[in-house]
Each structure stands twice: as structure tokens, then as C-alpha cells.
A and B are shown apart, each in its own frame.
Chain A
Amino acid sequence: MKIISSYSIKGGVGKTALAVNLAFAFHETGRRTLLLDLDPQGAAAFYFRVGNAKKLNMDDSRTIAADLRKNIRESDFPGLDIIPSNLAYRHFDVILNGMSKSRKQLRKVLDEFRSDYDTILMDCPPNITLLSENVFRASDAIMVPVIPTVLSQRTLEQLFSFFRDEELSCDMLHPFFSMAQKINKMHREIIEELPQAYPGFLKTVIPFSVNVEKMGIRRMPLLAYSNNCEAALAYRSLCNEIISITKSDPHS
């Protein structure tokens, strides 16, 4: 089982779009996939027409896992399940905190799902909290959407330095370009230069596409309704990159 998270300090960069479409792409490869929506806004679940989760009742990693399990919703696509978000996740931090201040607590929780899924994808809210630190320590790979702008460079550097300060492995961080516009000269230049400073930078570039925006109207992953457009192909290629980086095994 591989755990992959979609994370950025910045909001509105395409984290949820990534989580939703990557989950779909993983499911297309036959991997049993779970999408865990950790953002209280609940956008990821919304794209699957799934409502909010019931209240969680958290004491320790076992009961958290059991409570999460009760909230699993089967998506319309067999083999792809979702745990929708819950406003109580705001308190996830506090609970994890109360549990032993361990930053590895989430990993323990997710290990309970090892026999059920080949891939777990997490869609995270844009901030650094105890929850996000748990996410970092639980993940096999952290994918970071970067809009090719100067400001994004700064936030990416902030993330890397946070990792260095906390003695987290920077190797897990995999930035990639999101909402890239070829006609934009600045975009082109940043796409050219920025990856050289970061060895884990992924090759695939997700283009800006109205098809992606339409997800809100269609209420399903882009890959489910626009199978062959440029953005859809890019999400699949991103999926393949991350499969080979994490050495994810196909479902037997």
C-alpha cells in the first residue's frame, strides 16, 4: 500500500483537482484506491457527489480507523472509495495532539487499511498544522502543485526549508507545475528553470484547461468525462511517474 498526499501551503493551486484525478487514474490501473478528504471544505468528496462524513469519535489510532472505516463511501466507480471530510477535522489536530503529540499517529491509523487498499490518496488543506505534519510523516510521496509564478517559487522554498528544519526527508516532496499556460512567457521561463533546483520535481506539466474547471458542473473527475483531452492525459502521465517513483505494486 502506498500513501500519497496532495499538499501545498498555498490555496487554490490545484491540490483537489490533483487528488481527485489521480485517485481516478490509480483506480483505472486496477489498484484499489481510497481517497481521504482531509480538507474541511469537502471539495474532493463533492466532485464524487458524496456528502459530508458523520462525526468522528476519536480516542486512539484503532478507534479512529474504525470510525473512518464507517465513513467509507463507495464511489460510482468500482474500486474507488472515498472518506469524505468532516468539519470535525478541524479538531483532528487537537485530538492527534492529545493522543501523545506523536507526529506518526496518522500513519498508524492508515496502516489499518493496508489489506483493503493498494493506494491511499489524501487531499489536504493549505496550511501547516500538526495534521499536516502527520500527513508528511504518513506519506510515501507528497505531491505539490506549483503554478508557474514568482510567488509560487517563494512558497515552495518555504516548504522545503520547513522540511529541512523538521528533519523531514525532502526526497518525498514532488513538486509539479499546475495550471500552466504556454502562451504566458513568464510561465514558460519558470517551467524551464525552477525544476533544476529541485531533484524531485516531476516532468509532467498539468496545463490550464477549461475542462478541469468544468469538474464543478459535471461533478465527477475530469478523467471520467473527458478521457482524452490534454489535461486528462497529463494527469495519467503524472500517475505513472508517481507509480514508478513510489514503486507502487499493481493489485494482484
Chain B
Amino acid sequence: MKAGLPQNRNSRLMLSGKLPCELLQNHYQVSISRHEQTALTFWDTFEWGMWFGGYLLYSSENIYHLCKLKDGWLGDEICSEVTDILPRFKEDFKTGRMQKILTGILGIRGLATVFEGTLNQLQLEIRNDYGKIICRLDCSTISSKRAGNEKPPYSCCRVTPLMGYEAESGNIIKLLARYQTDESQEGPLELLFKQMGRKPCRYTLRPVFGLDFKTPAREATGKIVRSILSIALSNLPGLLSDIDTEFLHDYRICIRKIRSLLALIKGVYPDGAVSDIRTQLGEMARSTNRLRDLDVYLLARGEYLEMLPPQLRPALYSMFDEVAAERKLEVKNLVLDIQSAAYQNTIEGIESFFSETEMHGPSLSADIPVGQLVFRQMYRRYKKICRMARAIDAYTADEMLHQLRIECKKLRYLMEFFRELIDDTDIVAMQKILRSLQEILGEFNDTSVQQKTILGYFNSKRDDIDIALGIGGLVSILYYRRQQSRRRIVKVLNSFCGKGMSVVFKRNFKQKKLNPKV
């Protein structure tokens, strides 16, 4: 069945409610030339990548249609693809145009349903007194599954005048315009999505907290924790239904960020409670470590296989199969974990500890300006990293680089939390170099972990000569890469600790001794 929407050159009107057919019939001869009703499902990522990219992806039976998003409604169709599987990732789409656009939008994110309903398409021919068609009218409505048979809130009409009948058709447009919706804030599709409890919203791991230098430290901490915790929790549904690997990744980042923040703000809350929460968060993150490692492998599957000559690749298929099987188990365990009463209790405990209304006893740093507290921390971390960097060369032990990476991460989190307090141009420069330092340290870390795991896998398959060959190939490439990373680390560290950057860090974070009289 053809379910593509009409695409014309002409006037579109958004009417509230149904098309006023009787009204048209009072003035014109109206006949139906097409009437189709199809189930349709809209798809998007957790980040609403399609929506904010200006696209809509919907399926109707096994046809996927990619459209422009226009005035909050279906715009022109760009392409469509018939598929027999339930596509979730960009690679599940096979045709050129579709794949190209989706690759740009989805990245490694997966698609999930955002709306299910019925698309109703009606085409009318409108004739004048001579019986001549003067225009065609395409009208589409969408009603949501959940709202049942309720009347659709909107009709999208396109009037296509026949050439030579533009003026006559103008009267029809005028007639319909009386039923046009007010320019409300919410677009028509958005309103439908809302019926399903969904609303397109921007997603970020780096929200604005609304802080300044003078915000009392405890108030600032509460704001940051609440905000990041809610991002962590917003990832849980996607994590539970295992839509893509980013849910876990972001969840872990949020948990680690909170944990790291709590370590850096000693004295803001009474001792004891905070360290318990840190322990709980640490446990939460740790219990997902293995799953994340497995995700990283599976994501690198294509890249790994490509490193090897084709004849060596099949030997590694079984390795990835084993990883995939183990991953399945890990997901199952994690789901049980998250759904457990213990987990719920922990989360509720943390939430209420940091809630705006919770009263805590006094503590040393609760009321000092947060800037004063954290700038000192940032400068201290920077200097610590520089100290560690001085001892690093091409022969430094892996463990040392690992420590360095952790220090960098702490500094980066701090700067992220409090970037509202820092000079706009300086923060860009500082974050840029910090990011490249972290990237390269991360790459180094990944290659060492991967090498270790692959060798571990090999230990259990020693008698398989094909696997031995494949693994040998991989390990040597990983080793080579690791050595390359080392050289680059030294280089980036030099500029991170060099005169230029150290001036910037000092300027921003080194505080003058407080006036002893105050």
C-alpha cells in the first residue's frame, strides 16, 4: 500500500479538528478521489535526533519513510525503504539516501518508538459550477493509538489549484482559513506526542546549573547533584530495554561525576553521610564495568576485523560471539539489579539527601562561596597533573599513566560543573587541551585493556591455531598503537604544562590570600 504523503507546491493549512467537508459541499461539487488509512509509528532516538535534525522517520507496515519536519508536521518525503527486519541502528537501513542521512543523525544511537497511531489520508476533487475541477485537496490527520477513536486534533490540508484556476481556488483557501488553528506554541505533532506522554526535548550531559562564584557551596552542590542525578535516571528506561549502548555509557558518566563531585567538596555537608553515598555510587558504577567493557568490544568489532587480513577474520567471529553472549547475561543481571528494591532504596536515599527541602546540620564549608572552594581545588589539581607529567617519558609504567588519566578526569569534571564561573574564552582553551589530553590517555588505556583481554581470551583457546594467528595479528597492532599513543601523550602533556597554559590556569584559579582582617 502506498502511504507516502502528498507533496505539492502549494498552500498548506493547519486546521483544528476535522476537515469541514459539509461547508465545502455547500459551495462546490466535492468528490473523494482517494481515501487511505494506515497505521503509522514514529521513530526517534533518546536525544530526539531526528526531530531536532529537522526530520521525521515513520513506518507504516514494513515501509520506512523519511520526511522533512515542516511546521511541526510531516513535510516532503525524502526517501523510503522497505525492510523485513525491525531496524534500530543506522546499519539496519540499506539504501543510499536513507543510510546517509540516518548515519549523520543516529551515530551509534538506536531508534525507539515515540508515537503510534493512524494516518488518515483523504484526497478530494473540488469542482466549479461547470463541473470542472479547480483544485485538489489533500488532507491528512493523525490520531494516536492511546487516545482511542477520539477525533484527531488537527487536519493538515494542502490545496493544489489546477493551472489556470488559482484565483478560483483562492476562495476555497479563504473558506478553510477560517478553521485554521491559532499559532499555538506546540506544533500539531508535538501535541499528538504529548498524548502519548512524549515531548521532544533537548538532551545534554552538560546542563546549565545556574551558579555563580558566590553561590553558597552547599546550595551549589545540591543543584549540581539533583540535575546530574536526574539525567542519570532518565537513561534508565533505555538502559532497561537495551536500546543502545549510550544509555549505560551516559548513566555511568553521571554516576561517576556525582561521585567525583562529592569527593571534591569536603566540609560542605556533615561528615559521614557523604562518604556513604560515595560508596554506594562507587558500587553502582562498578557493577556496570564489565558490561561497558563488553560494549566497547562489540562496538569495535568492525574496526578489529578490518585490522586483520580477510583470511584471518573468521577465527575471531567466535570471540565476538562469546562476548555478545556474555553481554546478554550482563544486561539481564543489570536489569535485575536496577529493578531491585535495594537499588530503588539507594536512589531514593540519595535523592532525598540532596533534595532542596532536606535540612542538614551545619558544617565548615556549607556557606562559603562555591567559587572560592572549587577554584582552589582546580588549581591544586592542575599543579598535581603537571608534577606527575614531569616524571613521564616513553618508558613510564602503564599504571602511572592510568593515574594521570584519573587526575585529568577529575579536573575536567570540576571545570565542567563550574564552567559558569569561569571566563568564557579561557575555559574554551583550557577545556580544549584537557579534552585532547584525556582522549589520548583514554586511547592508551583502551588499547592496554583490550590487549590484556584479548590475550586472556587466547589463554583459553591455546590449541586453536587460527585463533592464535588472528589474536597475534590484533595484539601486535594494538601494541603498535599503544606505543604511538605514548609518544603523543608526552607531546600533549608538554603543551598542557607549558608556560602558555599554566598562565591561564593561574590567572583563573589561583586566589589571592584572603585579607586576614576580614
B165 is contacted by which of A71, A73, A219 (Cβ under 8 Å)? A73
Give the contact-size bracket for chain B. Answer: under 10
Q: Is A95 an interface residue (CB 8 A)?
A: no
Asked if A74 and B165 sit within 8 Å, CB to CB, the answer is yes
Interface residues of A, CB < 8 Å — how many?
12
| CA gap between A40 and B296 in the complex, in Å | 80
B132 near A72 (CB under 8 angstroms)? no
Q: B162 near A: Cβ within 8 Å?
A: yes
Q: Is the interface of B mostly helix, strand, loop or mixed?
A: loop
Closest to A70 in B: B164
Cα–Cα distance between A49 and B132 once the two chains are bound (Å):
5
CB distance from B136 to the nearest CB of A (A): 9
Q: Complex formed: what's the CA distance from A24 to B326 in Å?
A: 68
Query: CB within 8 A of A49: which of B125, B130, B163?
Result: B130
Give CA–CA (A71, B164) in the complex, Å: 7
- How far is B125's CA from A72's CA once the two chains are assembled, in angstroms? 19
Q: Within 8 Å of chain B (Cβ to Cβ): is A76?
A: yes
A51 at interface (Cβ–Cβ under 8 A)? yes
* Residue among A71, A72, A76, A219 making CB contact with B133, cutoff 8 Å: A76
A75 to B125, CA, bound (A): 12
Contact A73 B130, beta carbon cutoff 8 Å: no
With A and B bound together, what is the CA distance between A219 and B162 in angstroms? Answer: 18
| Residues of chain B contacted by A73 (CB below 8 angstroms) | 162-165
Closest approach, in angstroms, between the C-beta of B316 and any C-beta of chain A?
50
Question: Least Cβ distance of A143 to chain B in Å?
Answer: 26
Using Cβ atoms and an 8 Å threshold, which residues of chain A touch B133? 76
- Chain B residues with CB under 8 Å of A74's CB are 162-165
> Which single member of A71, A72, A81, A219 contacts B131 (CB below 8 Å)?
A219
Query: Complex: how many Å from CA A75 to CA B130?
Result: 13
Residues of A within 8 A of B162 (CB): 73-76
Do A72 and B163 touch (CB < 8 A)? yes
A51 to B163, CA, bound (A): 13
Residue of chain A at shortest CB distance from B164: A73
Look across to chain A and name the residue whose beta carbon is closest to the beta carbon of B161: A74
A49 touches B131 (CB 8 A): yes
Chain B residues with CB below 8 A from A76, complex form: 125, 132-133, 162
Question: Which residues in A have some Cβ–Cβ distance to B below 8 Å?
Answer: 48-51, 71-76, 81, 219
For the complex of A and B, list the 10 residue pairs with the smallest distance between their C-beta atoms, beginning with the closest.
A73-B164, A74-B162, A49-B132, A74-B163, A76-B133, A49-B130, A49-B131, A72-B163, A72-B164, A74-B164
Contacts A/B (CB < 8 Å), 17 sampled: A49-B130, A49-B131, A49-B132, A51-B130, A71-B164, A72-B163, A72-B164, A73-B162, A73-B163, A73-B164, A73-B165, A74-B162, A74-B165, A75-B162, A76-B132, A76-B162, A219-B130
Q: A72-B164, A74-B164, A219-B130 are in contact. List 17 more A-B contacts (CB 8 A).
A: A48-B132, A49-B132, A50-B132, A50-B164, A71-B164, A72-B163, A73-B162, A73-B164, A74-B162, A74-B163, A74-B165, A75-B162, A76-B125, A76-B132, A76-B162, A81-B163, A219-B131
